[in-house]
Every structure is written in C-alpha cells, then in structure tokens.
Amino acid sequence: MNTGAMNTATTPEPDEFTRAEQAAQFILAALAQNPAMEIPRIAVVLGSGLGDFAGNLQPAVVIAYEQIPFFPRSTAIGHVGRLVIGKLGDVTVAVMQGRVHQYEGYTAKQAAFPIRVLGRLGVRALVLTNAAGGINPQYGEEALVLISDHINLQGANPLSGPNDERFGPRFPDMTKAYTGAYRQIALDAGRKHGMELHEGVYAALAGPSYETPAEIRYLRAIGADLVGMSTVPEVIVARHMGIGVLAISCVTNMAAGLRPQQANDWLLGDPLSPREINHQEVLATGARVRGKLLALLGDIIPGIEESFKPNKPTSGLPGTPGSK
C-alpha cells in the first residue's frame, strides 16, 4: 500500500431533486425563526426593474440568493437577487427579486432551478413578470400583456437529460402551459383598476443581444406578440411539477425596426431611421409602469389564494378536471 498517496476523490454533487430539497429545507429553517410566517403557496418572480413589489410584504423574511444552497446568483442589471417571503394582507407570498438567464452563462436547467426549490417549498401557483419587446402593433410601450402561450427559441429545454419522476413525467403536456383561470383573475383585477390588459404569445430567445429587425419580422410571421430572454424555462419546469402559472409581460420597448405610430406597415420597419434599443430604456419604462403592476398584483395574489379553497370553481386549475 502506498501510504504516501493522497486521496483526491471528491464527493459527487447531489442530484437535482436532492439539491432542490436541501435548498427548500434551508428556506423553511429561516421561516421557522418567525413563528407567525406560514409556508407560501404562491410565488412571484420579478423581472427587470420590477423588484419593488417585495417592499409591500410585511412582516418579511429576506434571504440573499447566495445564502441558499445551490441557488444561482443574479448578475443582470435590475435583478437584486433576493428571496423575500412575507405577508401581503393575509396571504403569505414568496417573491424572487430577480432571476437568472441563460445569457449569464447558466444552462436552462440552472436558470429554472429556483422554481424546483419553490415547488419543493410547497408553492402551488407561480406568477412570473418580465420586461419584453412589443411586436404586436396593438401594444404600446408600458402595456401589460398576459402571456397565453410561448415559442421557445432559446435552443434548450430545462427538462433535457434524465427525468426524475419525483418532479414530474418524462413528457409533460404543455397544451395549457398558462393557467386560464389565473388569467381570468388577472383580467378581473385589471377591470377593477381601469387597466387594459392584453393577451399574447411570448417568444423566448437566448440573448443577450437584442433582436435584429429581420428576426422581429420572422417572429411576427410565426405568431409571436412579444419577445424576451427569460420566463419560458421557468414555465416548463413549473408545469412539469404541476404548478399553475400566470405570466405578465411589461412592454418596455417596441421591438427592433418597428414604428408604433404606423401600425399598418409595421412589418416593414424603418430602414432610414432605425431606433436603437438599450437596457436603460427597458429599466426606465419598467419604473414608469411599476405602480400599475404593483396594484394589479395586489389583487391577483388574493384572487389566486381564494381559488385554492375547495368551495371555489376548479375548472381550468392545475390538477383539476379540464386543466393541464
């Protein structure tokens, strides 16, 4: 025996389910420090420049992403990188202040891992928000759009690789990826506040470069109303786990080459005076629409919580007849 040889073997990293479970247990331990705090059944993911909603939760437990085992860290501007769990009125909500994206160097599986953790925590409904480019000429800047379907053009799927049946089935159905009953709750909340809410199809690209005018013409031709660089991996993983989904896009800019003032020929763009897009514009528009979105979420979340009650109509809700 060579006693001088060093043992260089390392402990293999736990599988994804174990990592998600350990992260969830860490969060539960933090919640246990506040006996009044319940386990959340609703989670909200806040996109670029939309992170202020978490300030409405009182009392709250705040955990930086880097404290949570295996949790990815946000590096994008406008994404704070904190998990805030607290009370919105009588409803306990988990709020992610920022997400991670594939363009930061994460895989689709890593980008969606926080949703795995939220699912293991006990979350049943997921509300996603994002900043998006408007393709549909009916949308102006600052419009709020409920995503009704998506087109995944990111070149990756977070479910690729071996399937863990403890999360969900090998081939999850995505016919109703976005829960219709939750969109109706949002539409009702919009009417209450006098807001016009649109519904549309979201195209997800990898980024980080913004799209070219030619790409935007292609996206519109295949049925996209919005374009962005997030959300879809989270939706796929949520539906894989049986979590209901509502997604709201804030149109922070008209997509490349579009002239919103000339909707009839918007597909042509304006090659003589192209309008450049920058992230500061996205953040500024998000700041302007923040108040509207916060008011909307303030009614949507109690509405979703109410839908969990057994005496409520369940058609179209996850895990019930008529739902997927």
Determine whether 38 is an active site residue.
Answer: no
- Compute the 3-state secondary structure of the chain and give helix, strand, coil in percent, each to the nearest 5: 35, 20, 45
Determine whether 160 is an active site residue.
Answer: no
CB 115 within 8 A of CB 71: no
Q: Reduced to 3 states, what is the DSSP secondary structure of residue 147? A: strand
What is the residue whose two structure tokens read 């998990």? 83
Determine whether 323 is an active site residue.
Answer: no
Determine whether 131 is an active site residue.
Answer: yes
Q: How far is CA 63 from each of CA 17, 67, 188, 226, rounded to the nearest angstrom?
A: 21, 7, 33, 32
Out of 186, 229, 247, 255, pick the active-site residue: 229
Determine whether 315 is an active site residue.
Answer: no
Q: How far is CA 294 from each of CA 30, 55, 129, 276, rounded to the nearest angstrom?
A: 26, 10, 11, 29
Out of 23, 24, 94, 131, pick the active-site residue: 131
Out of 101, 150, 198, 240, pick the active-site residue: 101
Out of 43, 54, 79, 181, pick the active-site residue: 79
Determine whether 104 is an active site residue.
Answer: yes
Q: Reduced to 3 states, what is the DSSP secondary structure of residue 301? A: helix
Q: Reduced to 3 states, what is the DSSP secondary structure of residue 293? A: helix
Q: How far is CA 192 from each of CA 186, 252, 295, 299, rounded to the nearest angstrom?
A: 10, 23, 10, 9
Tell me how far apart the alpha carbons of residues 118 and 257 are, in angstroms, rounded to a whole number. 38
Determine whether 103 is an active site residue.
Answer: yes
Residues in the chain: 324
CB 113 within 8 A of CB 13: no
Determine whether 101 is an active site residue.
Answer: yes
Out of 230, 241, 247, 256, pick the active-site residue: 230
Out of 279, 281, 295, 323, pick the active-site residue: 279
Out of 56, 74, 249, 253, pick the active-site residue: 253
Determine whether 279 is an active site residue.
Answer: yes
Tell me how far apart the alpha carbons of residues 231 and 101 are, in angstroms, rounded to a whole number. 9
Out of 16, 54, 65, 104, pick the active-site residue: 104
Structure tokens at 100: 């991670």
Residues recognised as catalytic: 48, 79, 101, 103-104, 131, 229-230, 253, 279
